[in-house]
Amino acid sequence: MATSVPYEEHPELAARFPELHPALTAQHAVMEANRCLNCFDAPCTAACPTHIDVPRFIKKIATHNLRGAAVSILEANVLAASCARVCPVEVLCEGACVLHHQQQEPIAIGRLQRFAMDTFYAAGGRIPQRKATARSQSVACIGGGPASLACAAELRQQGFAVTIYERRALPGGLNSYGVAQYKLRTADSLREIEQIRALGVTFATREIATEADLKELESSYDAIFLGVGLGAMHKLGIAGDGAPCLVDALEFIESYKLGRREDVGSHVVVIGAGNTAIDAAIAARRLGAQTVSVLYRRGPQQVSAFDFEIEHARHEGVTFLWGTLPIAIHHAPEDERTTLECTRVEVNRHGDFVLTADSNFTLECDLIIPAIGQSPLLTFLQRVRGLQIEKGRVVIDRASGQTTHPRYFAGGDCVNGGREVVDAVADGKRAACGIAAALGTAKEASHG
């Protein structure tokens, strides 16, 4: 059982990955806070998956009640420091800000939240422990990512004993391993997790994989939360797929964040155009690649990455090749040269891909980074008896997080197919309330 986390930031990382948005100074924060209209039933709050009371914390910044600001944020979202960095605020709170309708810049909610949280933690602030009577029941959370962290924190606050089972050395899931370094540093993710540990959540470094593991948990815990996320990234499935210069996007991001990879060569090709692909492409540029090409079989209208992410990548010097399909990787062991053979494709009226004749071309590459999504952890999930899974996603009751197995609850990527950290936090917290309600009822029932 890990009591502290073995992690040290690689010395070069900070220089190569300065934070995307500079921190607000105290005076700038107050000026920005004063710009907020303090809307009633504010649309920014409604748009936040964790419903942080935005005008409430912003007005506290304006009155220099910085501790109050952070505490009110934490009431809604225990991972508020990382959310302030990684949330796509453009499509969440800031996207809903009424100032858009007045042709004004929206309030910089994300940066204000980060200012409040950073100031709070820098001053040695701790997540306030709620007064709750200790409960006899205990809960296991499988997976140590944001969904489980939020679920565990809320359950602890309500008096339950909680253990998080994480198979990897560092807790935090994608927050620690998979978010672009210029958005969230591993050290910051871990610092936040220490806060949750301090609430009394137990962390166990252990993989829960087999039916026997599940049986064991079922016999020792009153409820189990599945915050397992998604599994391995999809393989390209083309000729030469095993070439040595191939590394999937998550493995790539993890390796540079942990300092295992400092060099990417001159030419990098990223395949896919989701947000993870963009994170990988930008990182490749920052790590010194001369060219980084993002290949996507459809057009810019169909990408799943946010517009502002694509824009950011362009600014960093990433090139996009739309309507392009990789068909084979050619690796010449004698001179260590690898080329990627591609072809142009179009989508016809019926939605089928049609290869454009004679459009093949090759790209020279030192590194190929497939980023075409993660597959669900089906084998594992199917080991939970009675768990309904649809299109690879665990089916839950949205309000309580309860799965079709009444003692199992779930949230995060394994439920939503892969969304944002803040969605996982919201799921985890809702599930915690669902678990508390279910266990509360069970207890009352046994008394009755």
Binding site for other proteins (CB under 8 A): 30-31, 34-35, 37-41, 43, 45-49, 51, 62, 87-88, 91-92, 98-99, 101-102, 301-307, 398-399, 416, 419-420, 422-423, 426, 430
How many C-beta neighbours within 10 Å does residue 87 have? 27
For other proteins, the closer CB: 70 or 303: 303
- DSSP H or E run through 70: helix 66-76
Query: Does 37 contact ligand SF4 by CB under 6 A?
Result: yes
By a kind-dependent CB cut-off of 5 to 8 A, residue 44 interacts, out of other proteins, ligand SF4, none, with: ligand SF4
Query: Does 62 contact ligand SF4 by CB under 6 A?
Result: no
For the segment 103-162, give every residue that binds ligand SF4 (CB under 6 A): 106-107, 109
For other proteins, the closer CB: 166 or 420: 420
CB 221 within 8 A of CB 438: no
Q: Is 261 helix (H, G, I), strand (E, B) or coil?
A: coil
DSSP per-residue codes, 299-333? -GGG-SS-HHHHHHHHHTTEEEETTEEEEEEEEET
* Token output for 32: 């920005």
By a kind-dependent CB cut-off of 5 to 8 A, residue 209 interacts, out of other proteins, ligand SF4, none, with: none
Q: Are strands 223-226 and 408-410 parallel, antiparallel or unpaired?
A: parallel
By a kind-dependent CB cut-off of 5 to 8 A, residue 54 interacts, out of other proteins, ligand SF4, none, with: ligand SF4
Query: Does 97 contact ligand SF4 by CB under 6 A?
Result: yes
Query: Does 43 contact ligand SF4 by CB under 6 A?
Result: yes
CA 111 and chain centroid, separation: 18
Query: Does 54 contact ligand SF4 by CB under 6 A?
Result: yes
CA 412 and chain centroid, separation: 9
By a kind-dependent CB cut-off of 5 to 8 A, residue 375 interacts, out of other proteins, ligand SF4, none, with: none
Distance of closest approach, residue 427 Cβ to ligand SF4, in angstroms: 23
By a kind-dependent CB cut-off of 5 to 8 A, residue 442 interacts, out of ligand SF4, other proteins, none, with: none
Distance of closest approach, residue 49 Cβ to ligand SF4, in angstroms: 15
Number of residues located near ligand SF4, criterion CB under 6 A: 15
Cα separation of 223 and 220, whole Å? 9
For other proteins, the closer CB: 279 or 423: 423
Query: Does 33 contact ligand SF4 by CB under 6 A?
Result: no
Q: Return the half-sphere exposure (C-beta side, CA atoms, 13 A cut-off) of residue 54.
A: 35
- In terms of phi and psi (left: phi > 0; alpha: psi -120 to 50; beta: otherwise), the region of 412 is left
Q: Return the half-sphere exposure (C-beta side, CA atoms, 13 A cut-off) of residue 169.
A: 7
Q: Is 402 helix (H, G, I), strand (E, B) or coil?
A: strand
Query: Does 89 contact ligand SF4 by CB under 6 A?
Result: no
- DSSP H or E run through 248: none
Phi and psi of 23, rounded to 5°? -65, 150
Length of the chain (residues): 448
112: nearest Cα among 136, 85, 90 = 85
For ligand SF4, the closer CB: 55 or 376: 55
For other proteins, the closer CB: 192 or 309: 309
For other proteins, the closer CB: 87 or 116: 87
Q: Which residues bind ligand SF4 (CB under 6 A)?
A: 36-39, 42-44, 54-55, 97-99, 106-107, 109
